[in-house]
Amino acid sequence: MATTILIAASVFFFPAAMALAASMDVVTMTIPNRVCAALAIGYFVLAAAVGLPAQMILVNLSCGAAVLALMFAMFAFGWIGGGDAKLAAAIALWLGWGALLDYSLSAAIYGGALTIVILLGRRQVLPLWLSRHAWIARLHDPKTGVPYGVALAAAGLMFYPHTEIWRAAANL
């Protein structure tokens, strides 16, 4: 029973958090701190529960910390939002160094595609029935940014099945 719960938690927690972060970013243009904190805490809880070695957890922690430092530098220059910075770091914690380059490249590609779609959509006149929805009007507004959390979450989901937590849960 406990094994089944661990496997279910390992399979569903990260994807559910990615869906929540992406949808919150689309609807509010923010990624709540509690989502990023839950991802970080969830990593440590599940990593310990599925028996990841302490050394592996620390290596992944170093990956998350390095990404957090880099992302906050990018935030300081105004290149990304603070929620995006924290989300990228939390995702890096789960993925580790081995997937970081591929994850970053995928997030950049998804982010570029998302940006193009949004920019093209902003060139169109927004129908009145859609403009009544505040979040759609905000996405359509050229003064607003792009909900990059969607790209970060999509790339995270792409690499999650290759993480150590996933493999450890599969071997329970």
pLDDT digits (tens, 9 = 90+) for 132-167: 898 988 999 999 999 999 999 999 999 999 999 888
Check: CB of residue 151 under 8 Å from CB of residue 110: yes
In this prediction, residue 128 carries a pLDDT of 86
Check: CB of residue 124 under 8 Å from CB of residue 142: no
Run means of pLDDT, 10 residues per run, the chain, 172 residues: 73 94 96 97 93 96 98 95 97 97 98 96 90 89 94 97 89 77
In this prediction, residue 13 carries a pLDDT of 93
Q: What's the chain's length in residues?
A: 172
**CB environment 53-81: b (16+ within 10 A), e (fewer):** eeeebeebbebbeebbeebeeebeeeebb
pTM for this predicted structure: 0.92
Which ranges constitute the DSSP H helices of 29-148? 33-49, 54-76, 82-95, 97-122, 128-131, 134-140
Check: CB of residue 113 under 8 Å from CB of residue 148: no
Number of folded domains that form the chain: 1
Calculate the CA 143 to chain-centre distance: 24
Note down the domain range covering 143. Answer: 2-170
